[in-house]
Structure 1
Amino acid sequence: MDKLNITVEHISHSGFTVETKNFYLVFDYHKGDISLKDKKTIVFASHSHMDHFNPAIFKWRDANKNINYVLSSDIDIEDEEIYSMRPYEELALDDVKIKTFGSTDMGVSFLVNVDNINIFHAGDLNWWYWEDDTEEEKLSMEKSFKEEISKIKDFHIDLAFFPVDPRLETAFNLGGEYFIEEVNPNCFIPMHFGDKFSITTDFIHKMKGNMCTIIELNRKNQIISL
């Protein structure tokens, strides 16, 4: 994988920061220790679920006036300084280009072009294969997920954050594996696993032989240089 010259920090669950040459991005913060930077900052929230969104993020404006918020439209907050996005919309902030896709749960997924790097954060877009679902529900989910991936696959993605959820038991790898096979990101970072970090190791073993760089996470506030 070509060096991206970015620093990623895993905050908690699906929450990450990405520091590029000129920008600092925060994705789906809901709790945990975070060190904000004194540079242009964009905070993203993919949907209103409490494990992806915490209103405490708005307090960060007190420390950094050069901060923007890009939230899914299902987060109902009236604030003229906040950008609200529905699926399949585009937004440009400074030199950052943001494009939204859909989800197989609530809200949106984000494709962000920053400093010539394409970063994808899936939010709750995943192949949610629950054993208790009916066969009809399982087929409907598979169809919805694959249709959404077909809209993303033509975009080059340098770094992807994508759910690898241990609650799906033996199907934990379905969405991530399909995403990697179809979209072919340069680097894949698992998320949405709570404190069960070992699932990232399990996923790497499942994907053995694939050319995609998959990052193993083993602690909160783990820092990855890419």
Structure 2
Amino acid sequence: MQITYIHHSSFLVETELSWLLFDYFEGELPPIGKDKPLYVFSSHRHADHFSPVIFTKFGDYPQVCFILSSDISPKKVPEDLLGKTHFMKKGEKMEFGTLQVETLRSTDEGVAFLVREEERTIYHAGDLNNWFWKGEDKGWNAQMEKNYRKEIAKLPDTLEVAFVPVDPRLEEAYDLGARELLENREITYLFPMHFWKDFSVCKRLQATLGSSSCTVMQIEHTQQNWRLP
């Protein structure tokens, strides 16, 4: 499996059987072959996770499938691509070719995606996170934590790859969601995302979770790629 960091929360995953592109809205892409299916995921309608540009860039791929959160309006989809587009609500399960896709309810907008293909399990959180904001009421933050823990409890015990928000705007709580996820699930490779070009959070997260059996991937620039076993 090969993974390329595109930008913000966007990653391209290549498996033996397919291509998976998550939350693309801008950024340079490596060549994506047309010899196997391409699945384009958008976790919600926010402009830093979804753009109609995906239809322009990938609409002519012979085996393309767009898998969008149901909060994205069908009016954003070109009419000739509606047949290749599927909208998923929270808590749904669907199969697309070799993929089994399940959604979780985000603590912000839209959904998180849990994708299974053969023995591989890939989790893209979208904006599902414990968004602990200092300026919010204590009751609001407590409810946020409750909602977050409720959703991640629905994940399988082990995840091979997890793309997880690590947002420096949360200050010392930037890694709260990632830490809580690792307290409850075994993750082989954790990819930080949603860090607004502040690549330093990757090293900070590695230092915080250094004793964990999970490998925290060190993202240093866009178009960085990794080949995983």
Residue 62 and residue 45 in structure 1: after superposition, are their counterparts in 2 closer, same or farther (change >3 A)? Answer: closer
- 2:54 aligns to what SS in structure 1? helix
Which aligned runs of 4 or more in structure 1 are off by greater than 4 angstroms? Answer: none
- 2:55 aligns to what SS in structure 1? helix
2:221 paired with 1:219: yes
Amino acid at match of 2:225: I
Counterpart pick for 1:44 among 41, 44, 59: 41
Aligned counterpart, 1:64: 61
- 1:145 aligns to what SS in structure 2? helix
Show the 5 A alignment for 1:134-173. 134-152=137-155, 154-173=156-175
State which drifts further: 134-143 or 13-22: 134-143
- 2:187 aligns to what SS in structure 1? coil
Cα displacement string for residues 76-108 of structure 1 (whole angstroms, at most 9, x for unaligned residues): 115232100001111111111111111100000
Aligned counterpart, 2:120: 117
- 1:11 aligns to what SS in structure 2? strand
Query: Structure 1: how far apart are the matches of 2:16 and 2:121?
Result: 14
Count residues with an aligned counterpart.
220
State which drifts further: 112-121 or 159-168: 112-121
2:31 paired with 1:31: no
Cα displacement string for residues 28-52 of structure 1 (whole angstroms, at most 9, x for unaligned residues): 0011001322221000000000000
Query: Structure 1: how far apart are the matches of 2:69 and 2:157?
Result: 21
Aligned counterpart, 1:106: 109
Query: Structure 1: how far apart are the matches of 2:59 and 2:209?
Result: 43
Counting aligned pairs with the same residue, the percent is 35
Aligned counterpart, 2:196: 194
The structural deviation recorded for 1:155 is: 4.3
- Root mean square deviation, CA, Å: 1.1
- 1:138 aligns to what SS in structure 2? helix
Structure 2: gaps spanning 5 or more residues: 76-81
Structure 1: gaps spanning 5 or more residues: 1-5
Cα displacement string for residues 137-196 of structure 1 (whole angstroms, at most 9, x for unaligned residues): 1111111111111122x3431100000000001111110011011111111110001210
Query: Structure 2: how far apart are the matches of 1:10 and 1:135?
Result: 35
Counterpart pick for 2:97 among 91, 94, 98: 94
- 1:80 aligns to what SS in structure 2? helix
The alignment's TM-score, normalised by the length of structure 1, stands at 0.94
Query: Structure 2: how far apart are the matches of 1:155 and 1:76?
Result: 33
- 1:209 aligns to what SS in structure 2? coil
The structural deviation recorded for 1:116 is: 2.3
The alignment's TM-score, normalised by the length of structure 2, stands at 0.93
CA contact (8 A) 2:157 2:186 kept: no
